[in-house]
Amino acid sequence: MGFLKLILNWVLITFAITITSYVLPFIEISGDTVLKKVSIAFLAGFILGLVNIFIRPVIKLLTIPINILTLGLFNFIINAGMLWVVDYFVDNFKIFSFWGYFWSSIMISVITVLLTRIFLYEKKSEKKEQDIED
């Protein structure tokens, strides 16, 4: 079941990136066809997922002191930085200006959290029952 959740999470991140590119003027996914744009969004979602798995925990660990001083607000800057990494590696996926990274990361995070709560939410009692059955 873990692999299915990973794939669904990837699709949700891709959907959040696509919605954000349509809503905010800072982010642009360019391509000739809709299929090309969707494939670029899937690639960006995949790379963002990898960055969040491997790079983000290290950065958060290194920035604990400044995170404490800013009462956790520095996490917004970390999220914007993770989006910058995606922008750097994916062609035809562009974000303009620091504020573009900042607001795009906030919107992608909010959409992803909401969709995750809708599609991947499990009650604790259901999860305990499933663990007992396994």
pLDDT single digits (tens) 75-86: 999 999 999 999
The tokens describing 107, both together, are 């919107």
* Mean pLDDT to the nearest integer, 99-121: 92
Average pLDDT of the chain to the nearest whole number: 90
CB 8 within 8 A of CB 2: no
Structure-model confidence comparison of residues 6 and 14, the more confident one? 14
* Mean pLDDT to the nearest integer, 36-44: 94
CB 49 within 8 A of CB 91: no
